[in-house]
Amino acid sequence: MTKRGLRIRCFLGAVVILLCCLLPNTASAVLKRGSSGDEVITLQKKLKAWGYYTGSIDGIYGSATVEAVKYFQRVNGLTVDGVVGPATAAALGMSLSSSSSSSSSSSSTSSGDTYLLARCIYGEARGEPYKGMVAVGAVILNRVKSSQFPNSISGVIYQSGAFSVVSDGQINMAPNETAIRAAKDALNGWDPTGGCLYYYNPSKTTNKWMLSKPVVITIGSHAFF
């Protein structure tokens, strides 16, 4: 190798090292092995709460976190690569780096609200026709708009006694893509019930108050009024 060649190689090596110094400073829109920070903490908390992760919540994306993310991806039909990209983040109900949310207006919803709505729909209406799943979401949103019920999606869902999936824990199951899509369609305004605030399953309920009300529409196994 010529001396000139050696010079060039040294120079290139220096440039490469300099460039490598700059890389860690760019914000990433994915979380993967080696990431650290608040978003990793949020990720680990969620996975731990749902039983996918058993390690400590240390904000460091190590091999235990990778395994947990892969487990989550496997169960939820996502590409199993151990990396939290947009699809996995959406399924987790997280938004990464870029988008910020929140205004104080009561009509704004965060991606967390969408995911909570999807979980409630999944718990209450999985197995129902798609229209029935959107209808459950629409009932929740109609309650938010009504003066008689709490003024937020989480307030309506967690109101004591309102939804059985809250008291029996089914609301903590991860929703499938159909439920997530149903939640988004309901948030977009599709209301197959025409404004209903209540629903019940006629073959399962003995609740006299509900059975006494005139039914507006029946979709699948739910009667709405």
Partner 1 sequence: MKKTAYIVAIAVLGVGLLVCVGLLTSSYAQLSDKQALLNAANEQIEQANSRLSETDDAEGGNAQSSEDSSSVNFERLYRKVGDDINDMCNTMSKLEVAASPDRTLLLLADLWRLSGSASAALSELPEAHGNVGELTSFITRAGDYAYALMQGVLNDRPLSADDTEQLSKMKEYCIKVSESIESRLESGQLPTDFLDADGFYCETNESEGLSDIPTLIYDGPYSETNELLEPLADLGGEVSQDEALNRAKELFPDYEASYESLCNGRIPTHDIALSGEKGEISLSLTKMGGLPLYFMGSPVGNRNDAPNDEETKRLHEAAQTFLSEWGYGELHPSYAQYYEGSVVINYAAVQDGVVLYSDLIKVYVDRESFEVFGMDASGYCFCHRQRELNAPSLSQEEAQERLSLLIEVESVTLTLIPKTRSTEVLCWEFKGKKGNDSYIVYINAETGAEEEIFLVINSEEGDLVV
Shortest CB 81 distance to partner 1, Å: 16
| Residue 113 touches partner 1, criterion: CB under 8 A | no
Among 5, 26, 27, 147, binds partner 1 (CB under 8 A): 147
Per rule CB under 8 A, is residue 71 in the interface with partner 1? no
Tell me if 125 sits within 8 A of 170, measured CB to CB.
no
Map residue 107 onto helix, strand or coil.
coil
**Most distant CA pair in the chain, distance:** 95
Contact residue for partner 1 among 24, 26, 27, 127 (CB under 8 A): 24
Based on the shown chain and the rule CB under 8 A, indicate whether residue 26 belongs to the binding site for partner 1. Answer: no
What is the bridge-based pairing of β-strands 217-219 and 199-200?
Answer: unpaired
**Judged by CB under 8 A, which of 36, 54, 63, 79 binds partner 1?**
36
Which residue type sits at 46?
Answer: K
Q: Map tokens 């196994």 to a residue.
A: 221
* Stretch 157-176 residues interacting with partner 1 (CB under 8 A): 159-164, 167
Is residue 32 at the binding interface for partner 1, with CB under 8 A as the rule? no
Instruction: Tell me the CA distances in angstroms from 196 to 135, 143, 154, 225, one per residue in order.
Output: 9, 9, 18, 5
Q: How many residues bind partner 1 (CB under 8 A)?
A: 71
Q: Measured from the CB of residue 207, what is the shortest distance to partner 1 in angstroms?
A: 5
